[in-house]
């Protein structure tokens, strides 16, 4: 069982699930990924995009919830 202090689960609409399914089957990189890695990749990519446009987050530590 996953450590609840380290991992969380989410519910997503079926069309979003299908989009993630398509992305994980080699459409992000030339390898099959897990759903969690696809979500992690998309979230980190979006954060980098936002950081590039503004300095809203100055460091990765700013994203840590204490």
Cβ atoms within 10 Å, residue 39? 16
Closest by CA position to 7, among listed 37, 42, 45: 37
Place of tokens 């689960």: 9
Q: How far is CA 16 from CA 21, 27, 34, 41, in A?
A: 9, 15, 15, 15
Mean pLDDT of 37-53: 89
Dihedral through CA 54, CA 56, CA 60, CA 65, nearest 10? -150
Summarised one tens digit per residue, pLDDT across range 1-15 is 678 888 888 899 999
Summarised one tens digit per residue, pLDDT across range 21-35 is 999 998 888 889 999
pTM, two decimals, is 0.68
Residue 55 — very low, low, confident or very high, per pLDDT cuts 50/70/90? low
């Amino acid at each position: 069982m996953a450590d609840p202090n380290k991992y969380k689960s989410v519910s997503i609409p079926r069309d979003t699930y299908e989009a993630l399914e398509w992305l994980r089957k080699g459409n992000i990189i030339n390898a099959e990924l897990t759903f969690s890695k696809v979500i992690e990749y998309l979230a980190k990519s979006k954060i980098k995009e936002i950081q590039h446009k503004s300095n809203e987050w100055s460091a990765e530590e700013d994203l840590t919830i204490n």
